[in-house]
Amino acid sequence: MKFNTSLLHNAKFNGEDRGATLPPLYQVSAFACESAEQLEKVFNNKAAGFSYTRVGNPTVSAFENRIAALEGGIGAVACSSGMAAITAVLLNILRSGDEVLVSTGLFGGTIDLFNDLKAFGITAHFLEAITYENVTAAANENTKAVFTELIGNPKLDVVDLDSVSKACKEKGIPLIVDSTTATPYIINPLKHGADIVVHSSSKYINGGGNSISGVIVDGGKFKWDIKRYPSFEPYAKFGPFAFVSKLRNGLWRNTGGCLSPFNAFMNIVGLETLGLRMERCCGNALKLAEFFESLDNIEVNYPALPSSPYYELTQSELSGKGGAIVTIRAGSKEKAFKLMDSIEFASVATNIGDVRTLVIHPASTIYTHNTEQQRISAGVYDDTIRISVGIEDIDDLIEDFRQAIESL
């Protein structure tokens, strides 16, 4: 099946569906068992079933199964937010004394998280670009993971997964890819050598801006050497399922960052139109970027433009699609604010992946806690505007931005 067909017909969901075309919403806290013995078995993973929604829920499980199938992974774990998913991934692998290589072109909140991890003895080394050469040069015996966004938000740098995954394999460390801005519609990172994929499913997977959530997908191919990753020793017996088993039975369950059944249901509803939405959003983004490039007083950044340094990689790795985020520089913070305030259709809001176009001034919002150098390394300047392009008619969007720019 091709992408849009598989979204609708390549999904299995747990629970008694009674002919429902969507997985039912199991909006409950606990599940009753027929006997105390049965509950004991379910609680101790000796029998299939559900006991408590923090640990498992049929609606959430249905969402996890769909994402795992979509990404080509062996399993998925849904979380309460994208940041909760990133935190769970890292802490499931890293412990005090470990180091991780990360890109400077990360979302501001993720940069903040790596600062928080210092208190736990985990050191992040920020690289200007995640490349084969940089990873090979920076990795040492304490390096236990590489983390990067596939298409940086809002830097819009694109990572060459094939070459970076080769470097990670040579060094024996897992490659963790945040593919939120790319989505499974554009690329499956696991097929390009990534070991674990993370999504803030609040964004394009949900698509309607109505639910906060995150999801982790494990490829099941990384060999967890228990000498280098001793915390995986109790889970080695699970083979390719070691990462997911460790996560579900430990950190994820115990910290309580589970996804609510209602939000899982809303994600399932949104997921079924992911292909249609992304095709429209990516097309709109390219046309809007081309419009900005035709102007003299606006500097535009979009990886699918021939002028972008990532154009060739976008064509070969991402099938020519640069995602649905465009950034522009207006000349000053004052001009950026005036431009944003003059737009009629786009909402000034801190989100991406909505069906409607959203704009934000990153420097004063999502990067407000970062240093000036961190902002510059992430492609964030005082005059930067990030545009999350929606599904509106492109002629309307272009004319709206035209009149806003003319107001400057």
**Residue 38: per-residue pLDDT:** 95
Distance CA 226, CA 123 (A): 21
Burial class (CB in 10 A: 0-12, 13-18, 19+), 325: buried
pLDDT in tens, 339-379: 999 999 999 999 999 999 999 999 999 999 999 999 999 99
- Structure token pair of residue 255: 């910290």
Indicate the average pLDDT of the chain: 95
CATH among 3.40.720.10, 3.40.50.11260, 3.90.1150.10, 3.30.450.20 for 275-406? 3.90.1150.10
Q: Quick one: which of 265, 217, 221, 260 has its CA closest to 69?
A: 217
DSSP-derived letter for residue 256 is: T
pLDDT in tens, 218-261: 999 999 999 999 999 999 999 999 999 999 999 999 999 999 99
Backbone angles phi, psi at 52, to 5 degrees: -150, 135
Which 3 state secondary structure label does DSSP give 138?
helix
- Structure token pair of residue 268: 């399932």
Top CATH class of 3-270 equals alpha beta
Distance CA 260, CA 59 (A): 9
Count H helices, E strands: the chain?
16, 12
Q: At what angle do helices 274-293 and 394-406 cross, to 10 degrees?
A: 40
> What proportion of the chain, given as a percentage, has pLDDT over 70?
99
Q: Specify whether the CB–CB gap between 175 and 136 falls below 8 A.
A: no
Question: In the chain, which segments carry CATH 3.40.640.10?
Answer: 3-270
Q: Quick one: which of 178, 190, 217, 208 has its CA closest to 78?
A: 217
**Residue 1: per-residue pLDDT:** 87
Q: Specify whether the CB–CB gap between 213 and 82 falls below 8 A.
A: yes
- Structure token pair of residue 143: 């390096």
Question: In the chain, which segments carry CATH 3.90.1150.10?
Answer: 275-406
**Residue 17: per-residue pLDDT:** 64
